[in-house]
Copies of this chain bind each other. A is one copy, B any other.
Amino acid sequence: MKLKVKFLKLSAGRPVAILHKKFAEKSSIHVDDRIFIQKNNKKVAAVVDVASGLLKENEIVVSTEIIKTMNLKENDLVKINQASKPESLEIIHKKLAGKRLTSSDFRKIMDDIVSNELTESEIAYFISGVYEKGMTLKETAEMIKAIVSSGKKLDIKGEIADKHSSGGISGRTTPIIVSICACTGLIMPKTSSRAITTASGTADALEVICKVSFSIKEIKNILRKTNACLVWGGSLNLAPADDKIIQVERLLNLDPEPQLLASILAKKLAVNAKYVIIDIPYGKNAKLNKTQALRLKKKFLVLGKHFGIKLECSLNKTEEPLGNGIGPALEIRDVIKVLKRQDSCYKLEKRSLELAGKLLELTGKAKKNSGMKLAKEILDSLQAYKKFLSIIKAQKGNINHIPLAKYKKDIFSTRKGKISQVNIKEINNLARIAGCPLDKTAGLYLHKHVNDKITKGEKILTIYAESKTELKEALKYYEKTKPVIFK
């Protein structure tokens, strides 16, 4: 079966071939199938996409990757064949059948994920396998090794410390903890993610005031100047297999425990961390309940030991967002308020000091039970604020002006009462409907927290949005869900 090559300047990051819908149907080839494209003695495998309009029935559009490899010209005739499946599919099959995977199995899968050999659907099968059948700690350790070795490493030396959260609760403790701990001489190469299901990730919030995408070489420069950084991990290729797995997990909000463990530890190993504090929020509104949180902690400790990392977990019952702001700009404003000792983001401050204190104790910078005190001193003396400013400057930013969205709407209480609960999930959805995380200036400001009293006519929250439509939709959603509950 021969088809005529059509050029379209399509670069998809992997070999992709677009076939005409009718041709694909006749040939029983479907989206995500693999085909061999052959001309003379050159042959490459490509993943199929199907379209009509773009091309004729006897044509094939191939991505630039294929054009280069096969040295194709427009209108060349190529032969099409159904291709065999990559080896890692058999390994995925093995996991789905409940069998244990070996270190070379993980190596193969992670390499194939990084080189884009596996499609999203195939990775989905792998994640289901891990989700349904679980993994032993030995398997998890092997997977971590495979993830790390399929990516780059930040090869720096010294007292490298790091912090991570098992996730799900907004509240930007990270910039505060990093700024405090870096004042004591610890090296804090902090890489963060962008929002997955929340209104803002740490990287989204930082991006309001500075650059967050750097090369490894640039990061080393920033660390030399300030011994800390607050960057986005996604562009660094530190654990690219993990980034891709997270992307497919998101489709169904799946987050199997072995994958969570692997994801966090792989990133710590890739930056050469010697000391790690893990923040594990739990509770009714969090991702984990207490039993799950305790089990996760136990496994973190075993794996930390296995990899020679001094690691501690800090469980924390969390019932509402830690700060007042929800959304990138509003959250970074909270962080600056705490660092400048200006305003009372009490819960955000307290949790940041707890975690910073534990990390200072773990690294020997503070004696047992005196870490939080040291952290508070550093914060109160504005040393942490100065450190933060120097990190932001090194990342080519400043905090002179943090804009908020064009449109806003205050929501007032119609009666008096006491706040009993803030539904974190609905608050996140509300902020996303208002435009987060893509509109960095959009979001919410919570005027009241759990246990606060409220009188008739007082503000409950303010919604910020960049368009009237979004503001209207957010208001509608607020009325439907009433995420701030008071009695």
Which residues from chain A sit less than 8 Å from chain B, CB to CB? 1, 8-13, 21, 25-28, 30-33, 38, 41, 49-54, 63-64, 79-82, 84-85, 89, 92-93, 96, 119-125, 128-129, 131-133, 194-196, 201, 204, 213, 234-235, 247-248, 250-254, 429, 432, 435, 437-439, 467, 469-470
Contact = CB atoms under 8 A, between A and B. Distances in A.
A96 B96 CA distance: 12
Contacts of A53: 9-11, 64
B120 A25 contact: no
Contacts of A89: 251-253
7 contacts: A10-B53, A11-B52, A27-B438, A38-B469, A119-B251, A120-B121, A121-B251
A23 to B, nearest CB: 10
Nearest to A63: B51
A51 B28 CA distance: 26
A427 to B, nearest CB: 15
Contacts of A33: 250-251
Contacts of A63: 51
B96 A254 contact: yes
A63 B52 CA distance: 10
A125 B32 contact: no
By Cβ-Cβ distance, the 6 closest A-B pairs, closest first, are: A128-B128, A9-B53, A28-B194, A132-B132, A124-B124, A121-B124
Given A120-B32, A124-B125, A469-B41, A12 B50 contact: yes
Contacts of A64: 53
A51 B11 contact: yes
Contacts of A8: 54
A256 to B, nearest CB: 10
B1 A253 contact: no
B121 A81 contact: no
Contact of A248 (B13, B82, B121, B250): B121
Nearest to A92: B252
Given A10-B54, A125-B128, 18 more contacts: A1-B439, A11-B53, A28-B201, A81-B438, A92-B252, A96-B131, A96-B252, A119-B251, A121-B123, A121-B124, A122-B124, A124-B125, A124-B128, A125-B251, A125-B252, A128-B128, A128-B132, A132-B133
A122 B251 contact: yes
Contacts of A80: 438
Nearest to A193: B28
Contacts of A194: 28
Nearest to A440: B1
A469 B432 CA distance: 55
A437 B11 contact: no
A33 B196 CA distance: 11
Contacts of A251: 32-33, 85, 89, 119, 121-122, 125
Nearest to A133: B132
A345 B53 CA distance: 46
A123 B32 CA distance: 12
A191 to B, nearest CB: 14
Contacts of A11: 21, 51-54
Nearest to A55: B9
Contacts of A435: 81
A139 to B, nearest CB: 17
Contacts of A253: 85, 89, 93
Contacts of A96: 128, 131-132, 252, 254
Pick from A12, A41, A119 the residue with the most CB of B within 10 Å. Answer: A12
A252 B87 CA distance: 11
A202 to B, nearest CB: 12
B1 A438 contact: yes
A235 B24 CA distance: 12
B9 A54 contact: yes
A99 to B, nearest CB: 13
A443 to B, nearest CB: 14
Contacts of A213: 26
A96 to B, nearest CB: 6
A309 to B, nearest CB: 28
B438 A13 contact: no
Contacts of A120: 31-32, 119-121
